[in-house]
């Protein structure tokens, strides 16, 4: 049985916590089902991170050991050496944790535990591992491109633009350096392959099948799911409230907008907007089967193709009718317009589509049922385990 070192950010790993935690859980389950012995290393990147054993209760069955490591990271002083790194070693210029102590720890841990492969889930873990010259293959669990998200900021200083450029250099160098990349986005998988000239694997996040006891409502809700700590959720919801909701609410005053997810990082402007009539904020909900009614209208108003959308399998799993911008779901080849979702060119066109769906029960039911079929065919561990095993095994050849 080959041993995998799974490196992940310290924090709760659960299908019910947030998008990142769902990806971690899915990857761990698939590694376990594929027959690997998994050692989990939870990384504390700063003083704010605190390791808690309770964060890993749900994944104990998938791992043989759970260890933690506190990263050492010190900002360097201005010097000619730093200028040299800016030009020739952008990874050292941008990421202060790339130092001898952290590198040595990783090399020794790999040797002591006889690790055969390292699965570094998320960007920082992959950067640390990929640039530490370990003696085993490294697989990068790719969530998104940081440089793409940085470019979406409305105002950026020259210095911010420079750091974005440097981070792009690092991200491109990283996918070339590691042995393999696994991504939850089909389009970004193709981008990685083009940059690295190596085979990457598209692997959507998997979930356990849900059988809800809730019944469809006579008047459907419009639902937005996702915590405000995620850029796509926060900015997407803000845009929906500005562009779509006023007209939808005016024409359908009896319809509620249900917002599910933590509001911790919502802006003051957004908090004021969601205090309006017919907007109900549920906050974080651990068991979504208690609030996601079948045939409700579920929106994804994000206007860009960035990373993966972990909520898509959740929407389909709970038999909801998905209405999304084409860009937001471009990463998923499983989504087909008017078959299991309504895809809109922009937010302006989303208004008419949602308004039509509100009074069209048959179409909502058709989309919801097909979404559930898509979930069962594509987003469960049964259908993805062999793909992961075949890909990882190929790295040992």
Q: pLDDT per residue over 113-137, tens digit each?
A: 999 999 999 999 999 999 999 999 9
Q: What are phi and psi of 65, to 5 degrees?
A: -145, 155
The tens digit of pLDDT for each residue in 294-334 reads 999 999 999 999 998 999 999 999 999 999 999 999 999 99
Q: What is the mean pLDDT of residues 86-97?
A: 95
Predicted local confidence at residue 396, as pLDDT? 82
214: pLDDT confidence band, cut at 50, 70 and 90? very high
The residues, any chain, with a CB within 8 Å of residue 71's CB and separated by 6 or more, are: 43, 44, 45, 46, 97, 102, 128
Predicted local confidence at residue 153, as pLDDT? 74
The residues, any chain, with a CB within 8 Å of residue 320's CB and separated by 6 or more, are: 223, 292, 293, 294, 295, 296, 297, 298, 368, 371
**Percent of the chain with pLDDT strictly greater than 70:** 99
Predicted local confidence at residue 69, as pLDDT? 97
Predicted local confidence at residue 397, as pLDDT? 64
Q: What is the mean pLDDT of residues 193-219?
A: 95
d(CA 354, CA 224): 13
**Percent of the chain with pLDDT strictly greater than 90:** 88
Helix (H) or strand (E) holding 260: strand 257-260
Instruction: Annotate 49-103 with DSSP letters as a single string.
Output: ----GGGGGGGGGG-SEEEEEE----PPPSSHHHHHHHHH-HHHHH-TT-SHHHH
Has residue 2 got a pLDDT over 80? yes
CB 122 within 8 A of CB 143: yes
Has residue 154 got a pLDDT over 80? no
Q: What are phi and psi of 23, to 5 degrees?
A: -65, -45
Q: What is the mean pLDDT of residues 38-60?
A: 94
Q: What is the mean pLDDT of residues 199-219?
A: 95
Q: Taking Cα atoms as reference points, which of 226, 170, 186 lies closest to residue 21?
A: 226
Domains belonging to the chain, first-starting first, are: 3-207+380-394 (3.40.50.2000), 222-378 (3.40.50.2000)
Torsion of CA 119, 125, 127, 129, to 10 degrees: -50
156: pLDDT confidence band, cut at 50, 70 and 90? confident
Give Cα separations from 97 to 6, 21, 267, 277 (angstroms): 18, 23, 31, 48
Predicted local confidence at residue 108, as pLDDT? 97
Mean pLDDT, the chain, whole residue set:
95
């Amino acid at each position: 049985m080959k041993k995998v070192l799974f490196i992940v950010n310290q924090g709760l790993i659960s299908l019910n916590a947030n998008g990142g935690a769902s990806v971690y859980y899915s990857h761990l389950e698939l590694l376990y089902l594929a027959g690997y012995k998994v050692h989990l290393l939870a990384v504390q990147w700063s003083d704010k991170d605190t390791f808690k054993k309770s964060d890993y209760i749900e994944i104990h069955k998938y791992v043989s050991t759970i260890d933690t490591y506190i990263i050492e990271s010190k900002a360097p002083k201005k010097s000619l050496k730093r200028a040299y790194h800016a030009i020739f070693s952008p990874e050292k210029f941008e990421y202060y944790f790339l130092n001898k102590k952290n590198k040595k720890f990783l090399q020794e841990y790999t040797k002591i535990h006889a690790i055969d492969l390292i699965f570094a889930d998320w960007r920082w873990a992959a950067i640390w591992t990929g640039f530490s010259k370990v003696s085993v293959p490294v697989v990068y669990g790719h969530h998104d491109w940081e440089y793409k998200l940085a470019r979406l900021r409305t105002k950026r200083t020259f210095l911010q633009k420079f750091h974005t450029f440097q981070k792009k250099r690092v991200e491109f160098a990283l996918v070339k350096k590691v042995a393999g990349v696994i991504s939850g986005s089909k389009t970004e998988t193709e981008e990685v392959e083009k940059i690295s000239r190596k085979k990457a694997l598209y692997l959507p996040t998997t979930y356990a099948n849900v059988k809800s006891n809730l019944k469809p409502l006579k008047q459907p809700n419009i639902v937005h799911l996702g915590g405000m700590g995620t850029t796509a959720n926060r900015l997407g919801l803000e845009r929906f409230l500005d562009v779509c909701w006023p007209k939808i609410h005016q024409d359908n005053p009896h319809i509620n907008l249900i917002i599910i997810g933590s509001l911790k990082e919502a802006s003051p402007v957004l908090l004021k907007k969601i205090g309006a009539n017919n907007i109900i904020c549920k906050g974080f909900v651990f068991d979504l089967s208690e609030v996601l009614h079948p045939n409700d209208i579920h929106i994804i108003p994000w206007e860009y193709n960035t990373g993966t959308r972990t909520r898509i399998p959740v929407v389909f799993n709970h038999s909801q009718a998905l209405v999304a911008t084409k860009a937001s779901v471009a990463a998923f080849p499983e989504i087909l317009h008017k078959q299991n979702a309504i895809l809109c060119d922009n937010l302006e066109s989303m208004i008419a589509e949602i308004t039509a769906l509100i009074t069209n029960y048959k179409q909502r039911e058709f989309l919801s049922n097909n979404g559930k079929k898509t979930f069962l065919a594509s987003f469960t561990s049964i259908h993805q385990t062999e793909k992961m095993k075949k890909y990882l095994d190929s790295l040992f050849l």
